[in-house]
Structure 1
Amino acid sequence: MVVAVVLILTLPGGSGGSGSSSSREVFLQAAGSTGPDPYTASTAQESTPPQQPAQPTGPPPGGNTIRAVSGATPGLYGGTQQRSSCDVEKQIGYLSADQAKNKAFAGVLGLAPGAVPDYLRALTPVQLRIDTRVTNHGWRDGASTAYQAVLQAGTAVLVDAWGMPRVRCACGNPLTPPQAIGGTPRTTGDSWPGYRAELVVIVDPAPGELGQLTVFDATDGKWFTRPTGSGGSADRPTAPPAQKLPSSPPPSIEPSASASASPSQPGSAPPSQPPSAPAASTPAVESPPINSAPAAPASP
């Protein structure tokens, strides 16, 4: 049974992609926004926030806690059947045209520069269905930067065979898991209706390589499977899974917005193992299965 896990995480980062390791800012990035310090022009083909974003389950986390959900979870990702959320070949073209960026992009993900095209083609284009924390890597002054970010549900991403987000398509930035440090994070950037820190999740790698993702199509409320490494042409309808992330109702108000895996060593091929989960400052606590009733929303 897939379960959600609560981890104690506080996330640093540079506002606007400065990459400052001393900052505890977490940058909020709306689904359709390019954001600071893009590696490339947008290759996103779907970036609309869902009317009913997925809802984490279990008791609301307290303090600096955040839930982690397995990349294998049905309904963690959304999209439109037979349509790719990102233009992978365009992303390859942008990076191939700038070898400095290509080299830096490869370094973030632990690749040899020449392995980037095959690596990108092995990723799967989908959309986030829940606000998700990551380490986003921007491009500034000829070098890669790193900053902590929350990506809004609806963001088009490329995910790997373990269900981990690896590229944000609206800016071409490589993604890695968030960093865990001490202190209380401070959100910056652009908030969105319904954003609440206690509903944000991080994605943990699936226990093994996935042959397909079980994806929810919010346009018609139906489910389909998408083979990993495919862009939509091999999608197949499927029955609703018994265990999945529930959905929350559309928000009616706009609340105020007041652990890092080490990449594998560069090589000639994409990594063959998933990253480690972020380190927690206290032992992980198991929460109820994700198909349990969602926790009651906090009072406005």
Structure 2
Amino acid sequence: MRDATRRRPPRPAAPSAPAHAGRYALAALASAALLAGCSLRGDNGEPGAEQAAAPAVAREVVLQPAGSQGPAPFTASTAQEGAPAAPGAPPATGVDGPAPAGRALTGATPGLYGGTRSVASCNVEQQIAFLAAEPARGRAFAEAAGIPEANLGGWLRGLTPVLLRADARVTNHGFQGGHATAFQSVLQAGTAVLVDGYGAPRVRCACGNPLRAPAAAPGAVHAGQPWPGYRPDRVVAVTPTSTVVTSLVIVNAADDTWIERRTGSDGSADRRPDVLPPCDPASCDVVTAPPAPLPDGPTAPRQPPAPSEPASPPPTTPDRGTPDPVSPAPDVPSAPDVPSAPDVPSAPVGPDAPVGPDLPAVPDAPDTPDGPGGLPTPEPPPSSDDLFPADTGAGRQPDTFQG
């Protein structure tokens, strides 16, 4: 019995419950992190060690309707125009194909924005109060917007409240975990935004999120439910102007008329533009129509031909009417030749009169007095028959005379 007990193989130990449960808990935690959309980055925003081992996450462009607050809003809604803010819904894929990069349009494009005359689409003072009440949010907002935290209130007061009139691609920022999280989104036309002095949208009023220019995301897909009429090929990407603009030409949402809104104002100084855009506000399509500034250049190419017309060879009479100070100059040297005509009668008259090469110049003399110099016409010789007798043959004419 003792030997049999020694030869019995040892029974394998059962796995401990705590180790088994820990593996399942770790897997569940990783799944929860992926479902929540965590970026697997450290507190400083740099990629963590976990990101290298995790599979690549498909990039997304979130569709945000005008009245949706969206995920992780910075503040409560401050929108005073457009669709009322509504709680965000879980994103769901609703459009096949890649998300659009957007057609670039400058922020000063007439009709890109709209609004109601003398009405601000956003309450800027309320936005400032929300961020001032929570310093952590204000600090994260300033960091995401790229402005000094100390100048947050002044910067917001310098923005202009308007409504988008086209679906616009932007870089959005939510507030989560005490800091701003960036994501790409498309804002629906009708969204209330604050734009800066370069015409670029900087704040989404329905959620208080800071906005920046869209980032390149090749291969990105849509996330969220599209609104009726959404077309990826009609999405725009607003680019800032090269210089600061003092006003924006927007469309009055109440009656489809043009409004000139001074940048940095709340709409109280709205007025009719002095120069209207070349299209009607109701039919002006800023998405498909090419930029149509009012150039001053077309008249410039037509002006140079006007002075060049007199320079072309005109009739003889108009040419002689040119300014006198210019035309007499070439006629002055010919004046000494004119008095030589009266000297002809002093030559011997008769058949033996010498015929020199200067005599044929006498018939050309009438052309000289006709010039603009106004010289008197010399008296002709007393008798042409005496100067040129009938018996003078053509053979005696100089060979160099061509008539």
TM-score of the alignment, normalized to the shorter chain, above 0.5: yes
Contact kept in structure 1, 2:100 and 2:235, CA below 8 Å: no
Residue type at the aligned position of 1:116: L
SS in 2 for 1:170: coil
- Confirm or deny that 1:84 pairs with 2:132: no
- Confirm or deny that 1:165 pairs with 2:166: no
Alignment match of 1:129 (pick from 165, 172, 180): 165
SS in 2 for 1:139: strand
SS in 2 for 1:213: strand
TM-aligned CA deviation for residue 149 of structure 1:
0.2
Contact kept in structure 2, 1:15 and 1:26, CA below 8 Å: no
Q: 2:37 & 2:292 partners in 1: Cα distance?
A: 36
TM-aligned CA deviation for residue 220 of structure 1:
0.3
Change (3 A) 1:64 1:225: closer
Bigger relative contact order, structure 1 or 2 (CA pairs below 8 A, ≥6 apart):
1
Change (3 A) 1:17 1:74: farther
Given the two structures, how large is their TM-score scaled by the length of structure 1? 0.70
Q: 2:128 & 2:222 partners in 1: Cα distance?
A: 32
Q: Could you say which residue in structure 2 is the equivalent of 1:222? A: 257
Contact kept in structure 2, 1:125 and 1:158, CA below 8 Å: yes
Q: Could you say which residue in structure 1 is the equivalent of 2:77? A: 42
Percent identity between the two aligned chains? 50
Q: How does 1:1-300 map to 2 (within 5 A)?
A: 22-48=57-83, 66-182=102-218, 184-238=219-273, 240-242=276-278, 246-247=283-284, 289-290=290-291
Change (3 A) 1:65 1:202: closer
Change (3 A) 1:143 1:236: same
- Segments of 5+ residues of structure 2 without an aligned counterpart are 1-33, 41-55, 85-97, 294-403
Q: 1:121 & 1:218 partners in 2: Cα distance?
A: 23
Q: Which is strand-richer, 1 or 2?
A: 1
Q: 2:156 & 2:39 partners in 1: Cα distance?
A: 24
TM-aligned CA deviation for residue 218 of structure 1:
2.4
Q: 1:187 & 1:159 partners in 2: Cα distance?
A: 25
Given the two structures, how large is their TM-score scaled by the length of structure 2? 0.53
SS in 2 for 1:202: strand
Deviations 1:223-275 (A, max 9, x none): 11110000111111236412688546xxxxxxxxxxxxxxxxxxxxxxxxxxx
Deviations 1:195-243 (A, max 9, x none): 0100001001112100000010122011111100001111112364126
TM-aligned CA deviation for residue 290 of structure 1:
3.4
Deviations 1:89-133 (A, max 9, x none): 000000000000100100112212111000000000000000000
Contact kept in structure 2, 1:138 and 1:146, CA below 8 Å: yes
Q: 1:290 & 1:45 partners in 2: Cα distance?
A: 30
Residue type at the aligned position of 2:291: I
Q: 2:66 & 2:99 partners in 1: Cα distance?
A: 26
Contact kept in structure 2, 1:217 and 1:224, CA below 8 Å: yes
Change (3 A) 1:160 1:181: same
Deviations 1:153-205 (A, max 9, x none): 000000000000000000000000111133x2211113101001000010011
Q: 2:200 & 2:37 partners in 1: Cα distance?
A: 21
Q: 2:164 & 2:129 partners in 1: Cα distance?
A: 24
Contact kept in structure 2, 1:29 and 1:152, CA below 8 Å: yes
Contact kept in structure 2, 1:74 and 1:243, CA below 8 Å: no
Deviations 1:10-31 (A, max 9, x none): xxxx998856895411100000
Contact kept in structure 1, 2:164 and 2:189, CA below 8 Å: yes
How many residues align structurally? Answer: 228
Residue type at the aligned position of 1:134: V
Contact kept in structure 2, 1:223 and 1:237, CA below 8 Å: yes
SS in 1 for 2:199: coil
Residue type at the aligned position of 2:75: T
SS in 2 for 1:233: coil
SS in 1 for 2:238: strand
Q: Could you say which residue in structure 1 is the equivalent of 2:20? A: none
Give the greater-gyration-radius structure (CA): 2
Change (3 A) 1:70 1:17: farther
TM-aligned CA deviation for residue 289 of structure 1:
2.1
